[in-house]
Chain A
Amino acid sequence: MSAQLNFRNLTLGYDRHPAVHHLDGAIELGSLTAVVGPNGAGKSTLFKGVVGAIKPLAGRIERHGVLPQEIAYLPQVAEIDRSFPINVYDMVAMGLWRRAGLFGGIGRKQRDTVEAAIATVGLTGFEDRAIGTLSGGQMQRMLFARLLLQDARVIVLDEPFNAIDAKSSADLLALVQHWHHEKRTVLAALHDLDLVRANFPQALLLARAPVAWGATADVLTADNIAKARRMCEAFDEQAEACVVAEGV
C-alpha cells in the first residue's frame, strides 16, 4: 500500500506554541482513519495543517499528488453566515467550485449531480429553503452534500457527528463508509469510541504527540486512553524553545 499523506517530524501550532508535536507517520491511500483524543489534543490543528490552512512550525506534510485546495474539508465550526440570503441548492452547488470556478456555467448534467447529492443526504424538497431555516442536522446534511460534489480524493471531517441526532449521524456515517468503498482517503476526528471501534479500521490516538497509531483495536486500549489523558498537559506561556533536533 502507498501513502496518501506523510507527516515528517511535523509540528503544528499557533504563535510558536505547538499543538501537535513531532508527528511522524503515514495515512495510507484509501484508508479510513479516526483521529481520537481529548479536547485540546491537536486534532483540529492537525486537520488545519493537512488542508493547508496553517503552516507547520517545523517539519512537513507530503500530500502525494493532491493540492491542499483539492482536499475536501468539513471544519468543526463552519464559519457560515446563516442569515445570508442563499438557498440550499446554491449552497450545495458551491461544491462544484473546482470545476466551475469563477465564471463556469452549471449545465444540465451538473444540475443533475447537484440534485442527486441533495437526494443522497435526504434533503430533497429543501432546495429552495433559505439556509437560515435549517435545523442543525439538516445543516450538516447539506454540508455533506457539498462534500459529495467536491468529489475529492482526500476528505477531512472534523467532529462531523457532533450535536446531531442519531438518525442523521447514522445516515452521514453511511456516506463516510461509501467514500471508503470508493477508495477515497478519509480522516475524521471523533469522540464516540464505540462508533470508532465499529466503523473505522484505522485510528490515531493523539494527545499533542501521537500515543498510538494503527489498527483501531490495538490503538483504543484502556492503557493508551489513560496515557492520552495524562499527556494532554496544559499550554505553557513560559515554555522554552523546543530542543529536539530538526529532521530527526
Chain B
Amino acid sequence: MLSHIFLEPFRDEAVRHSLVAILALALSAGPVGVFLMLRRMSLVGDAMSHAILPGVAIGFLAAGLNVFAMTFGGLTAGLLIALLAGAVSRATALQEDASFAVFLLLSLALGVVIVTINGIDVEHLMEFLFGETAAKMNADKLLVIAINTTISTIALALVYRPLTLDCVDPGFLRSVSRAGGIAHLTFLGLLVLNLISGFHALGTLLGVGIIVIPAAVARFWTRDISAMIVLAMASALLAGVAGLLFAFHAGIPSGPAVTLVAGVLYVGSILFGRIGGLIWRLFPGRHLEA
C-alpha cells in the first residue's frame, strides 16, 4: 500500500524528472521567497510571473514547443521588466510597486498585441499556465531547471550580505557602500530565474506559489533569518514532493497540486505557528516573571 503511494510513481522516468526538478526548485526558491517577503515584494513576485508570459509566448511563436526558446523569451522579458522597473524606482522618485505595475501592464499589453497579430494555439498556452498533468516532465525542462537553480543558489549566496543589509537598513548600506543597488538588481534577476523554473515545473500562473508560500509558512515559526531560510526550503521540499504524489495519483496538473499542499502547510502555520499563530494569540498562557 505504502509502496504503491510513495514508490510506484517514480518507476516512470518522467515523474522522476519532476521529482528532481522540484527538489532543486525548493532549495533555490525557498530563500528567494524569504527575501521577497522581507522586502514586502511578494505581490511583485506575483506580478512578475505574469510579466514573463509575453516573452514565453514570443519564444513559442518563434520556435514552437521548444523549452529553450520559451525559457529565453521568458527570461528576456522578465529581466527587462525587472531591470527597468528596479532602475526606474532607484533613479527617480517613483516607488517600486508603482514602477512594477506600470512595466507589467506595458509588457502584458505588448504580449497581447504580438499574440493577436500572429495567432496562437490557446490550448498549448493553457498547459503553460498550470503545468503538466500527472507530474510528468521531459528532460529538457529538467536541464533548464537544473541550470537556473544552480545559478540562483550560488548568486544568492554571493549577494546575501548586502541584500540582507539593504532590507534591514538601506540607509546604512548606502552610507558605507554602493553594493545595495547591485544586490537589489541581482535579486530581481534571481526572482526571474526562479519564476522561469517555477513556470516549467508548475505553470506560469502557479509557479510563483513555491517561491512565496513556503516563506510565508516559515515566518510563523522563527524570528531568525537563517532559520527562516532553512524552514522555507524544508516546507517547499515537503509541499513539492507531496504535491507531485498528489498530482500523480489524482491525475491533475502539478501546479495546483503543489500549491494546494503548500496552502495546507500555510493554514496549519496560521493556526499553530509559534510566532504570531492564532492559537498562541488566543491562549498565550500566564504572563512571565520578567
Contacts and interface: CB of A to CB of B under 8 A. Distances in A.
Interface of A: 51, 53, 69, 71, 73, 75, 78-81, 84-87, 91, 94, 97-98, 102-103, 130-131, 146, 150
A156 to B, nearest CB: 9
Interface in B216-245: 222-225, 228
Contact of B169 (A80, A85, A98, A150): A80
Contacts of B167: 81, 84
B171 A79 contact: yes
B175 A87 contact: no
Contacts of A81: 38, 167-169
Contacts of B224: 85, 87
Nearest to B164: A86
Given A85-B228, A103-B161, A69 B179 contact: no
A154 to B, nearest CB: 12
Interface in B179-225: 179, 222-225
Contacts of B38: 81, 84-85
A78 B172 contact: yes
A53 B172 contact: no
For chain B, the bracket of interface size reads 20 to 34
Contacts of B41: none
The 3 closest A-B pairs by CB, nearest first: A79-B171, A84-B168, A85-B225
B168 to A, nearest CB: 4
B179 A102 contact: yes
Interface of B: 38, 158-159, 161-162, 164-165, 167-179, 222-225, 228
A103 B179 CA distance: 12
Q: Is the interface of B mostly helix, strand, loop or mixed?
A: helix
25 contacts: A69-B177, A69-B178, A71-B175, A73-B175, A75-B171, A78-B169, A78-B172, A79-B170, A80-B169, A80-B171, A81-B38, A84-B38, A85-B38, A85-B223, A85-B225, A85-B228, A86-B168, A87-B224, A94-B172, A97-B176, A97-B177, A98-B176, A102-B162, A131-B168, A146-B172
A44 B236 CA distance: 46
B5 to A, nearest CB: 37
A53 B179 CA distance: 15
Contacts of B176: 69, 97-98, 150
Contact of A51 (B158, B162, B175): B175
Contacts of B169: 78-81, 91, 94
B223 A69 contact: no
A146 B175 CA distance: 13
Nearest to B178: A69
A150 B169 CA distance: 15
Nearest to B93: A15
Given A87-B224, A103-B161, A130-B223, A53 B170 contact: no
A78 B171 contact: yes
Contact of B225 (A78, A79, A86, A97): A86
A85 B37 CA distance: 11
A148 B228 CA distance: 29
A81 B162 CA distance: 15
A86 B228 CA distance: 11
Given A84-B225, A85-B222, A102-B158, 4 more contacts: A75-B171, A79-B170, A94-B172, A103-B158
A245 B65 CA distance: 67
A184 B184 CA distance: 34
Nearest to B168: A84
B164 to A, nearest CB: 7
Nearest to B179: A102
A80 B171 CA distance: 8
Nearest to A146: B172
A75 B174 CA distance: 12
Contacts of B159: 102
Contact of A53 (B158, B162, B175): B175
A83 to B, nearest CB: 9
A91 B175 contact: no
A53 B161 contact: no
Contacts of A79: 169-171
Contacts of A73: 175
Given A69-B175, A79-B170, A94 B165 contact: yes
A110 B269 CA distance: 38
A74 to B, nearest CB: 9
Nearest to B228: A85
Contacts of A98: 176
Contacts of A75: 171
A160 B127 CA distance: 58
A21 B275 CA distance: 51
| Most chain B CB neighbours (cut-off 10 Å) among A71, A84, A85, A87 | A85
